[in-house]
């Protein structure tokens, strides 16, 4: 998905957050509903209080990048997503999700505007690789649905 830049006042953060958190609660331990990093490629942190909207906005205003899930983790079957659909990655695709990985949105405030990128939250493995949260411009089958879903919240 191409990077989207929108004035913060034109984005319905509350509705986006509600939908994202509702989905996350259905698919994983709620302590992992929202992750943050200082920059793409960092190990995701989860101690942010997603129940307190002001803490999420405060984190964004402090320069942190927040990750919200679009997809569930890759179970090898159709991957359930926040838009209510399930998608399958073509075996011939160069895009790959490990079984502990999911795609989503990395939101950050830059120069007074909200920057939204598609990203992969890679869960890592016992020894290698370490968990990371990385901007991923090409999320294959997820690109178009991710773009359509995020545009629902832009006024």
Distances (CA, A) of 113 to 7, 8, 96, 122, 125: 5, 5, 31, 26, 35
| Kind plus residue range of the DSSP H or E element containing 3 | none
pTM of the model: 0.90
pLDDT tens for each residue of the chain, 155 residues long? 999 999 999 999 999 999 998 998 888 766 677 888 988 889 998 877 666 767 888 889 899 999 999 999 887 789 999 999 999 998 888 998 888 899 999 999 999 899 999 999 987 655 556 788 999 999 999 999 999 999 999 99
Long-range interactions of 73-80: CB distance < 8 A, separation 24+: 73/27, 73/28, 73/97, 73/99, 73/100, 73/101, 73/102, 73/123, 74/98, 74/99, 74/101, 74/102, 75/99, 80/27
CA 15-17-19 angle, 5° bins: 70
Q: Identify the three-state secondary structure at position 69.
A: strand
Write the DSSP symbol of residue 11.
B
Tokens of residue 32, six digits: 């992992």
Q: Identify the three-state secondary structure at position 40.
A: coil
């Amino acid at each position: 998905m191409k990077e989207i830049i929108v004035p913060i006042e034109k984005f319905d953060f509350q509705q986006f957050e509600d939908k994202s958190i509702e989905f996350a609660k259905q698919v994983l331990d709620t302590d992992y509903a929202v992750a943050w990093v200082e920059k793409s490629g960092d190990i995701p942190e989860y101690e942010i209080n997603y129940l307190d909207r002001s803490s999420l906005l405060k984190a964004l205003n402090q320069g942190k990048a927040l990750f919200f899930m679009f997809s569930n983790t890759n179970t090898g079957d159709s991957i359930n997503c926040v838009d209510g659909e399930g998608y399958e990655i073509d075996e011939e695709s160069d895009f790959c999700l490990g079984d502990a990985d999911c795609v989503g949105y990395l939101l950050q405030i830059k120069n007074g505007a909200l920057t939204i990128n598609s990203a992969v939250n890679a869960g890592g493995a016992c020894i290698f690789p370490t968990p990371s949260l990385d901007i991923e411009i090409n999320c294959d089958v997820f690109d178009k649905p991710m773009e359509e879903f995020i545009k629902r919240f832009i006024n």
